[in-house]
Amino acid sequence: MTAQNALKDALRDIVGPAARAHGYRGSAPNWRKLSAGDCAVVNVQSSAWSSADHVKFTVNLAFAPEPWLRWMVEETGRAPRSMPEYHGLYREPLRPRDAAAGEDRWWDVVDDASARSAVGEVVDLMNGSGWPVLESMFSRETLASRVRQGELGKLGEGQSDHLADKVDALLLMDCGPSPELERLLARLTATTRPDARPAAERFNAWVHLHARRAVS
């Protein structure tokens, strides 16, 4: 059995049932959970340098509320059938337990035993800091708190209030026009660099359009 097949079988036999138990659908390399358009993703990424006999892989976690995904479609001009991991508002990789802090280390698979050991550790990590974290963000209150505190995984590193205001505006727009929404959009415009002003104006116009549609 090749390392690639060993990993495929381990993911099917170990991660698949765990994902389904938490309400996720799909199969390797992607499992997704949807609720009212919000989406959580568990993605298994193999290294481009892997071979039939040696596979290196990591696991990427992502979450995005429906308004953020709607804006991603507008921003990219693409409407994928399913949310790709890289469209997540929250994005965070899992790392092996013995990886040093900040170390970008992946799991190694060379045979069936190493595949099942690695995937078993992935599920243990998911039970502690994977499934519960993703599940918590289906709550708008929890998600908004994470945005404000900069707890958005790798995407949130060095986060500014600008991103927080943008997300707050997206989460508010489906409630219709409001003074709070106008305050957020005005602050976004005021804090945007001059060279990025056209993009900010497009965002503001798009949010205003969807806010009006919400009450029409």
DSSP-based three-state secondary structure for 41: strand
Give the integer Cα–Cα distance in Å for 135 and 17.
17
Q: Are 29 and 136 in contact (CB under 8 A)?
A: no
Alpha helix segments (H runs only) across 65-192: 66-76, 112-129, 131-136, 140-149, 161-173, 179-191
Q: Are 107 and 56 in contact (CB under 8 A)?
A: yes
Percent of the chain with pLDDT over 70: 97
Give the integer Cα–Cα distance in Å for 115 and 134.
25
Say yes or no to pLDDT of 159 above 70.
Answer: no
Among the listed residues 84, 98, 104, the one whose alpha carbon sits nearest the alpha carbon of residue 42 = 84
pTM of the model: 0.92
Q: How confident is the model at residue 150 (pLDDT cuts 50, 70, 90)?
A: confident
Report pLDDT for 212: 97
pLDDT, tens digit (0-9, with 9 covering 90-100), for 54-72: 999 999 999 999 999 999 9
Burial of 4 (0-12, 13-18, 19+ CB in 10 A): middle
